[in-house]
A and B are shown apart, each in its own frame.
Chain A
Amino acid sequence: MRNVLNTGAAPVELDEFQYDNKIVRDFAIASVVFGLIGMLVGLLAAFQLAFPQLNFDLPFTTFGRIRPLHTNAVIFAFVGNGFFAAMYYSAPRVLKAPMWSPLLSKFHFWGWQLIILGAAITLPMGITTSKEYAELEWPFDIAIAVVWVAALVNLVMTMLNRRVEHIYAAVWFYVASFVAVAMLHVVNSVALPVSFFKSYSWYAGVQDALVQWWYGHNAVAFFLTTPYLGMMYYFLPKAANRPIYSYRLSIVHFWALIFLYIWAGPHHLLYNALPDWAQTLGTVFSIMLLAPSWGGMINGLFTLRGAWDKVREDIVLKFMVVAITAYGMATFEGPMLSLKNVNAISHFTDWTVAHVHVGALGWNGFLLFGILYWLLPRIYGRSLYSNKLANFHFWIGTLGILFYAVPMYWAGWIQSAMWKEFTQEGLLKYPNFLETVTQLAPLYFLRGVGGTLYIIGFIVMIYNLLMTALNGKLIATETAKAPALSAITHNDPQEHWHRRIFERRPVFLTIMALVAVAIGGLIELVPTFMVDSNVPTIASVQPYTPLELQGRDIYVREGCYVCHSQMVRPFRDEIERYGEYSKAGEFVYDRPFQWGSKRTGPDLHRIGGKYPDSWHYNHMDDPASMSPGSIMPKYPWLLEDELDTTTTAAKIRAMQTLGVPYDEGFDQVANKDLQKQAEKITESLKQSGIKTKSDKEIIALIAYLQRLGTDIKAGQGVAVK
């Protein structure tokens, strides 16, 4: 409006153009449908921890395969599609231009849904890289990169074809999200394919861990935070009909946020084999993130100043206020969890699970619900079907979050305290890990109840939105008029520097956003790769034998890392419980690394040699037979299925390419070596009265488990009595 007036006396010709609401609707449907599936899968996983029989003794429904499906579906399908729906609605409107290419929009939509469908099929099949939130195998990684860049191009071209002089804050956040995720995804996914559905990470051990959590943490930042901040910057002032509280704050918190966030990844690896300097960087940048993160909350909540009376009435604002509050709580908790003494307690426990769910259920979920309640009626040209139902959704959803979070915090604290408690004789008070798990069963059940409440609300929303849509008619396109950019461009020497430098220049803005996010990554990653002293080598650490390598791939396939860490932290209680703490040099042949992030079961890094082969055999068949009360799923198929040895040679060659020092030509004799080792294990099983063939998968898995963490002992064996 202002722009039109400013153009002076000469009458300006107005362009006429159409906003596409159909793509918005499509993404919204995809978000809601996949969201429901993702949440139901999460609910199943939640109840599996309370009732292990819900694993159904099937490979496809075990917790280790279900949990990655849940996280991927909720992050990339529910939250992701929600972001796209909101972006395809808001970006054209603040830029006064339809999306540059409807074809690219369509490509983005269908490409993304096909990838999700692929994930839904391959993850339960055990096709996984085991890198958290990046579990999809390499063909999907390539597809994601292509689709993602296509969407980025579409957005940048729309920015270039805009009909406003300056680019609004919401779009800064969108574009930063796109460039950052593109960078993170590509760097983290570099891998050497072995077959169509199997690849080995380009990085090994400590380096793989650093890259993964650089990615993992910033997937939270640039997939769950910045896009949703951008959405807040459009939909909150729209819904509240209030101006944004502070333009200056939006500039400061945008640049500070994207610059600082990228450094914080190593806080997922505190008290770890990661070098001290990298851990410190992770901590201090997390501390500095507090104010920039809160900048978003403040700009949101203070925008509501003078509109708080509306919050009482308006369901959209209600959802948004809870969402922003949850964001504020989660971004306060984040830096606190990054302090090493707090992290020593929280890491590997359900505390982390509670933390991320406050973010996911509260911030992402509730913001998206608020937006959908605002958006759907508008593109269907009628008011919301039922305010009562929406209110019900709000209250049951809030209750659901509480019921979810409180038991999980409780579980985290209890379990951590039990892990660390010693008796006066200097022994662990709870030496049996299982004791600390069975304590949590009621809390796991309560958490499931919380999830159920949240999903009930979600289903009520689906019904409400569906009835809104059925009783209205989709306004597929909206016509708008505005003068062309060239007609309104004017030079204002008094203009704010940020407007002059960034908001007029979309490509420059995009590039500078990339620069801002690239700096932290480069400074942390490059030295870890280049400087040898960061990963001190241990002479006795040898490459895996072919059988162990195959066993390791089974370990990856079954998603053991979901519940078992392989990282004994340098604490008295962990050394007492598991053995010598893990050293960086022990992981140099681990592609991908398997440190894990949660201990639902005990750490396995020193499991090698702790139990006899027969124990593992019986335990995999029925964990409760060896550990009464265990909540681990049964893996009877490992005892039946034959190991696929046709891949051995290719795997050895791939490892050689990646620099693992197998002898020249070892790939040709690898299977012979594999056979020999398998016979040995079969023999030892036979002595314990177990009759099995040497070609079963269980043999390979036992070989791997018995090897775990033993190399370092071989080096010291002479010295230790």
Chain B
Amino acid sequence: MKFRNYLETISGVSIFPLISLVIFFVFFVVLIWYVIQMDRSKVEAVSKMPLEDGILRKGALALLAFFVIPVANAQSATPSPNESLNIGILTGLLGLLILTLVIVLVQAVIVLQRVSANQKAAEALDTAPESNVSWWSRFSGFGVSLTEEKKILIADHDYDGIHELDNRMPPWLQFLFVGTIFIAIAYVIYYHSGFGDLQQAELDKEIAQAEVAKKAYLAKVGASIDENSVTLLEDAGILKEGQTIYQEKCAACHGPEGGGVVGPNLTDEYWLHGGGVKSVFKSIKYGIPEKGMISWEKQLSPTDIQKVSSYVISLKGTKPANPKEPQGELYTEGGDAPARDKAVAMNQ
């Protein structure tokens, strides 16, 4: 989610996906047009291009260079002041462009040479000793060229016309296998000899860390509100926010207008667990679990509870449709002491 937050801080960020969409769209349209108008002979010519491993590898290296060089460039350029930075980047880009062009040209020349010398090369391959095969081919599992395949066709292996070659396992796959076995052993040792955290230790650390972060935050923003310090808010904007929370969290049980459904009526003057903002705040925060009112402490921040409490109190005297009958003690502002005592007693 962090990444999204960063993105949102960029002004006008929405234009970028649009631009990339347009670029991709154009790219694909051009590509499709190119493919459609391409004739058969062209397709065949392309398919015969001898793109061998060597070229692919060099191409990949060139691409890698393409991505690495600007990074190196940018790093060296960072400390210099703005103008020279721009010049540095421009020179870098220019150099890169030239470099890329050179690489592409070299590659093209090699391809052309290969194409013209195709016939000769094929003949040469036929007689070439196996040691001529590059280490890369052998590493990737193509140590035996297609033309020499007959030599490793296993005699006697014929199953309904299916034959088998005696290629060795590709070395990279062997390394991968052995590597994963080592990783597995290391994993067991790491987690079961006390270095790494098993799930219980991990949880303890996670919670401890979170506690520290939370305390630091609360210390920064000042003491938070609780049921002893909460005050009634009457600002219309805040009540509106309280209403939004109410509709989302409370309306299912107390009715959209506070008339009560599963939970009691909130618009009358009678309270089961004490009226007044402090008692209401407390009821919301800790809930009345035995009667089905859940605790909202973990879902709503103290300021949110304050807002919704204030909204609930502001409902007094409104006329909801189908109100539930009054329940609990009559509560009037000011003469609240006995009623609240009773509510607290019920709570415990």
Contact = CB atoms under 8 A, between A and B. Distances in A.
Interface of A: 1-3, 6, 90, 93-94, 96, 164, 166, 168, 170, 233-234, 237-238, 243-250, 252, 256, 271, 276-277, 279-280, 283-285, 287-288, 290-292, 294-295, 298, 302, 305-306, 309, 312, 335, 417-418, 421-428, 431-432, 570-572, 575-577, 581, 609-615, 618, 625-628, 688-689
Nearest to B205: A572
Interface string B138-153: 0001100010010001
A248 B158 contact: no
Contact of B180 (A245, A287, A417, A613): A287
B253 interface: yes
B112 interface: no
A166 B161 CA distance: 14
Contacts of B102: none
B301 A245 contact: no
B180 A612 contact: no
B268 to A, nearest CB: 17
A701 B195 CA distance: 46
Contacts of B289: 609-610
A426 B158 contact: no
A614 B262 contact: yes
Interface string B187-205: 1100110000011101100
A430 to B, nearest CB: 9
A298 B173 contact: yes
Given A291-B180, A421-B1, A302 B299 contact: no
B217 interface: yes
A427 B299 contact: yes
21 contacts: A90-B160, A94-B159, A243-B163, A245-B141, A246-B166, A248-B168, A276-B191, A284-B183, A284-B184, A295-B169, A309-B47, A425-B301, A427-B298, A427-B301, A431-B299, A570-B199, A571-B203, A572-B207, A575-B207, A576-B298, A612-B292
Contacts of A612: 262, 291-292
B262 A295 contact: no
Given A244-B162, A246-B168, A288 B184 contact: yes
B157 interface: yes
Contacts of A689: 262
B28 interface: no
A2 B156 contact: yes
Given A432-B299, A570-B200, A425 B162 contact: no
A245 B302 CA distance: 67
A628 B247 CA distance: 10
B294 A610 contact: yes
Contacts of A422: 210
A417 B1 contact: yes
A111 to B, nearest CB: 28
A345 B156 CA distance: 51
A244 B183 contact: no
Given A243-B164, A688-B262, A614 B292 contact: yes
A426 B214 contact: yes
Contacts of B141: 245-246, 298, 302
A572 B187 contact: no
A421 B199 CA distance: 20
Nearest to B146: A306
Closest 5 CB pairs of A and B: A612-B292, A431-B299, A291-B177, A426-B214, A284-B184
Interface string B69-92: 000000000000000000000000
A249 B169 contact: yes
Nearest to B211: A426
A247 B155 CA distance: 12
Given A287-B183, A298-B141, A581 B162 contact: no
Nearest to B224: A425
Given A94-B162, A292-B177, 5 more contacts: A93-B159, A246-B141, A422-B210, A425-B224, A425-B302
Given A245-B165, A312-B47, A615-B253, A280 B292 contact: no
Contacts of A168: 159, 162
Contacts of B224: 425
Given A244-B164, A295-B173, A305 B292 contact: no
Contacts of A614: 262, 292
B118 interface: no
B169 A284 contact: no
B113 to A, nearest CB: 23
Interface string B203-241: 100110011011001100000100000000000000000
A199 to B, nearest CB: 33
Interface in B259-294: 262, 289, 291-292, 294
A572 B210 contact: yes
B187 A284 contact: yes
Chain A interface main SS type: helix
Contacts of B167: 245-246, 248-249, 302
A284 B168 CA distance: 26
Contacts of B346: none
B146 A280 contact: no
B184 A93 contact: no
B133 interface: no
Contacts of B153: 243
Given A2-B156, A612-B262, A280 B206 contact: no
B252 A625 contact: yes
A68 to B, nearest CB: 30
A208 B156 CA distance: 48
B22 to A, nearest CB: 21
B262 A243 contact: no
Given A243-B153, A295-B173, A287 B203 contact: no
Given A246-B165, A247-B165, A284 B188 contact: yes
B209 to A, nearest CB: 9
Nearest to A281: B188
B328 interface: no
A584 to B, nearest CB: 12
Given A280-B192, A425-B217, A294 B183 contact: no
A2 B180 contact: no
A682 B154 CA distance: 78
B55 interface: no
B158 A1 contact: yes
B176 interface: yes
Contact of A628 (B162, B176, B252, B298): B252
A625 B256 CA distance: 12
Given A291-B173, A432-B299, A609-B289, A280 B217 contact: no
A291 B173 CA distance: 6
B326 interface: no
Contact of B217 (A312, A424, A431, A628): A424
A339 B252 CA distance: 41
Nearest to B218: A425
A2 B192 contact: no
Given A238-B161, A243-B153, A287-B184, A423 B210 contact: no
Nearest to B304: A427
B181 interface: yes
Interface string B38-58: 000000000100000000000
A243 to B, nearest CB: 4
Given A244-B162, A417-B1, A280 B176 contact: no
Contact of B165 (A243, A256, A609): A243
B323 interface: no
Contact of B252 (A248, A290, A626): A626
Nearest to A423: B301
Nearest to B293: A612
A295 B174 CA distance: 10
B44 to A, nearest CB: 10
Nearest to B202: A570
B320 interface: no
A150 B160 CA distance: 25
A234 B168 contact: no
A134 B206 CA distance: 37
Contacts of B207: 572, 575
